[in-house]
Structure 1
Amino acid sequence: EDKFPRGLILQDAVVATREVSHQPDGPWPVELENGKTAGALEIQWRFLEAAGKYLQGRDAEIDWLLESWSFVLDSFATNPNALIGGVDWITKRWLLEKFAEAESLSWDDPWLLSLDLEYHNIDPSRGLFFQVKAGKRITDWNQSVRIKNASYRPPANSRAAGRSQAVAWFRDSELPYVINWDSIASGPQDILVMSDPFSTYTSEVSAFLRR
């Protein structure tokens, strides 16, 4: 705990996130608990410096993460378009801006709304994200973190394992169900709450499905 940068606790994380999301071009100031104001990128740099101080050189994966983190922060300040294909909102904004400009569309045009939806289509043959040609740096980055098995094998050390177990079971059943990030429900009163993101809940899910 003493390794974290001091004086960077946000006054209200939800409000700060919303305000930053409404400023696509920066400068992203946020209110701190101590009454001061700091830039969102400044806070990120402070955390990156602390992470590098204590974690640099531990292993190749951590070094790659630290270097990529630095690349993203530097690109935000100097050349955001270098992140096209790597940072989602920058990619989508660039794509929609280019299309709106080419077709002389206003931002409330229904055509742009349909493109917004198709951008998130996870089918590689239809999703617009997959059609974006990123630079070599981002392409190498994407390829290094994309694991084919991840599309059908969840992380084994989180509640995603329990959710996946439930999805597979309900897919072959005729029971109504709702699966959220932190809960599984079947029927109006039968619900399993999974509040700990780092627990697999596989045994709890098995018991829940046997009811």
Structure 2
Amino acid sequence: GRPIINTRDEPHARQAEYRRLHVIVGDANMAEISTFLKIGTTAIVMEMLEQEGTFPSLDLSDPVRAIKQVSRDLTFKGSLDLNNGRHTTAIEVQREYLHAAHRFYTTRECSPITKDILIRWESVLDTLERDPRLLRRELDWVAKYDLITSYRDRRGCQWDDPRVAMMDLQYHDIRPSKSLYATLERTGKIERLTHDEEITRARSSAPTQTRAFFRGACLKKFPRQIYGMSWTSVLFDTGNQSIKRIPLLDPYRGTQQLTTELFQDIETVDQLISRLTT
């Protein structure tokens, strides 16, 4: 089966200072709240790890097998084996981590976004135990299950029907004219966290708080001279024999605040490099 974490030593930053936890398992989410909770709860656990928070003793005996079990269990009552011989369920695991997060933030500053994640996290767990279909406006798998169930009831088809398999794929189609999710969104049947204007702006404007801003500024200022870009560098072809490289080894250098003045009153890549090296 597919592993949970990519163990390749590839921090995409200064190796002596940074490490990257590359999680490569999970759903291809469309719903904004699904994504918000997936990324948000992971970020909370990462902060707890970095700050040496206290975690529940819930080591799974076979994590990869457990993920498969949970993904196929819509009752949330399936038993998961722990290393210590005990058994638990997916909901119980989530609740233990949620309680640990609440304890962690009782003695630390908790941002408004983190508070929102914690509130939604608890609400989703409560609703999953009560009636999962109440979450069809928030979670992808519930929205998709509701769509397919309604279709099966109307058409009298089974789960192995090719049309059901097509719906499963079509839900995640990123083309608005083809996507079942986009249809739900257009008809107001999915809860949003963002506005279309924000999404349009994000397509052409890089985040301002990381090195992504510097990459975006280079692309806007010198589009014809960009030879290549990666996490850790910008490459320029200025017509000389050698490619010029600007390293970006610190994720938090190159922010809007730090680099805006660099691009003022310059016309060439050489001028930019000169400012960076003086």
Query: Which TM-score band applies after superposition, normalised by the shorter structure?
Result: 0.5 to 0.7
Match of 2:99 in 1: 49
Q: Does residue 201 in structure 1 map to residue 231 in structure 2?
A: yes
Does 1:29 pair with 2:79? Answer: yes
CA distance in structure 1 between the aligned counterparts of 2:144 and 2:158, rounded to whole angstroms: 16
1:1-211 matched pairs, under 5 angstroms: 1=49, 3-55=53-105, 58-132=110-184, 139=191, 142-144=192-194, 147-148=198-199, 149-150=201-202, 201-203=231-233, 206=234
Cα distance in 2, alignment partners of residues 119 and 18 from structure 1? 21
**What runs of 5+ residues in structure 2 fail to find an aligned partner?**
1-48, 220-229, 238-242, 244-278
Measured after TM superposition, the shift of residue 126 of structure 1 is 2.6
Pair 1:116–1:78, CA change in 2 (3 A)? same
Which structure is larger by alpha-carbon Rg, 1 or 2?
Answer: 2
Which residue identity is paired with 2:176? P
Alignment-mate amino acid for residue 43 of structure 1: V
- The 8 Å contact of residues 86 and 138 in structure 1, kept in 2 or not, is answered as yes
User: In 2 relative to 1, CA 5–70 (structure 1 residues): closer, same or farther, beyond 3 Å?
Assistant: same
Alpha-carbon separation, structure 1, partners of 2:175 and 2:183: 11
**Deviation (angstroms), 1:202:** 3.1
| Higher mean displacement: 2-11 or 88-97 | 2-11
Q: When the two structures are superposed, what TM-score results if normalisation uses the length of structure 1?
A: 0.66
Which of 59-68 and 49-58 deviates more?
A: 49-58
* Equivalent position SS for 2:193: helix
**Distance in 2 between the 1:52 and 1:138 partners?**
28
1:37-61 CA deviation, whole Å, 9 max, x = no partner?
Answer: 1111111111111111222661211
Higher relative contact order (CA 8 A, sep 6+): 2
For residues 43-89 of structure 1, the C-alpha deviation after alignment (integer angstroms, 9 at most, x for no partner) is 11111111112226612111101000011101110021121132111
How many positions carry a matched residue from both structures? Answer: 175
Structure 1's 38 and 84: CA in aligned 2 closer, same or farther, altered over 3 A? same
After the TM superposition, list the runs of 4 or more consecutive aligned residues in structure 1 that deviate by more than 3 angstroms. Answer: 144-147, 149-158
Distance 1:48 1:151, change over 3 A: farther
Secondary structure of the residue aligned to 1:143 is coil
